[in-house]
Amino acid sequence: MRFYVMTLFPELVEAVTSSSIFGRAVENGIIRVEAVNIRDFSTDKHKHVDDYPYGGGKGMLMKAEPVYRCWASVMERAGQGARVLYMDPAGTPLTQDMARAFAKEESLVFLCGHYEGIDERVLETVVTDRVSIGDYVLTGGELPACVVMDAVARQVPGVLSEGSAEEESFSDGLLEYPQYTRPETFMGMKVPQVLLSGDHGKVDAWRREQSIRRTYLNRPDLLDSAVLSKKEKKYLDKLKKEIGHDPETEKDEGFPEEDPVRPAEEGGCPCAGGGEGHPDGY
């Protein structure tokens, strides 16, 4: 997988993509990232890439010409069929399904805006996908681009250990179950006994129920498309009756109802269970 990022701040992209799992994938040659400075494609001696917007208004707008020349240069390496993603708060909200679809591409090109955005004419010319990571304001498109790249990279074979991606949140339409590690007791709270049992069947069943519970409490909308067995549907119905039908008023502690929260000393198991000022975001 090859990522090309058109940006005014390549050092920001490089800093994020050179660390942790993503960085190891780059070192191992599984992922390739090239941050391309749009400013290099400005033709005036001061390397200007912005100008005042027609019609007035605060701030500056990125000019079409440098962006277009940068895109043309990148496409020679990425391939003329490569998708160009513009980080745009008006775009389609990023989902796990989108990340999986993007991961099937050989190359992805990212266009990062700054200041008050980019001249709409060049966006209409080069962009194939407008993608948003949320309804909030950021200084530029670099961090959103890195978020998308990270989500996509995790779907590329070899980046994660085998089977890891299948157990993450959203992989099966549900949120991930709670997890625990040593010590067995922390501040009076014990690891759920089922996880210490060595019975893999019971562990898998408990984790599945915890995923359903956590999803119901935090993201009940996901259950509309989740594939549940008859037994799991019965568990969900029981959960709704016990908790009620207003998950927003409930706090998800990751505990099944049959294991009430009690201090460990009482025998319970409490652990069971963009541009700066851009009006549109970044």
Owner of token pair 């993603």: 85
Whether 272 shows a pLDDT value over 70: the answer reads no
Q: How confident is the model at residue 165 (pLDDT cuts 50, 70, 90)?
A: low
- Report d(CA 156, CA 135) in Å as an integer: 27
Sheet bearing 2-7, strands edge to edge = 32-37, 2-7, 107-111, 83-93, 129-132
Assign domain 171-266 one CATH number from 3.40.50.2300, 1.10.1270.20, 1.10.1040.10, 1.10.3720.10: 1.10.1270.20
Of all residues in the chain, what percent carry a pLDDT higher than 70?
83
Please state the CATH superfamily assignment of the domain spanning residues 2-153 in this structure: SPOUT methyltransferase, trefoil knot domain (3.40.1280.10)
Least confident of 62-71, 204-213, 227-236, 259-268: 259-268
pLDDT of 72-101, one tens digit each? 999 999 999 999 999 999 999 999 999 999
* pTM of this structure: 0.80
Give mean pLDDT, residues 56-79: 96
pLDDT of 222-266, one tens digit each? 999 999 999 999 999 999 999 876 555 544 444 444 444 334 443
Instruction: State the pLDDT at residue 87.
Output: 95
Instruction: State the pLDDT at residue 267.
Output: 40
Owner of token pair 């942790």: 20
Give mean pLDDT, residues 191-208: 96
Conformational region of residue 138, where left means phi above 0, alpha means psi within -120 to 50, and beta covers everything else? beta
Contact 166, 113 (CB under 8 A): no
Query: What are the contacts of 178-186 at 24+ separation with CB within 8 A?
Result: 178/210, 178/214, 178/254, 178/271, 178/273, 180/271, 185/264
Mean pLDDT score of the chain, rounded to an integer?
87
Q: Phi and psi for 99 in degrees, rounded to 5? A: -60, -40
Provide CB contacts within 8 A for 172, sequence distance 6+: 166, 211, 226, 227
pLDDT of 93-125, one tens digit each? 999 999 999 999 999 999 999 999 999 999 999
Instruction: State the pLDDT at residue 269.
Output: 35
| Domain map (residue ranges) of the chain | 2-153, 171-266
Instruction: State the pLDDT at residue 226.
Output: 93
Give mean pLDDT, residues 114-141: 96
Instruction: State the pLDDT at residue 204.
Output: 96
Instruction: State the pLDDT at residue 183.
Output: 96
* Amino acid identity at 130: R
Give mean pLDDT, residues 52-75: 96
Give mean pLDDT, residues 20-46: 96
Instruction: State the pLDDT at residue 173.
Output: 86
Give mean pLDDT, residues 54-80: 96
Of all residues in the chain, what percent carry a pLDDT higher than 90?
78
Instruction: State the pLDDT at residue 161.
Output: 84
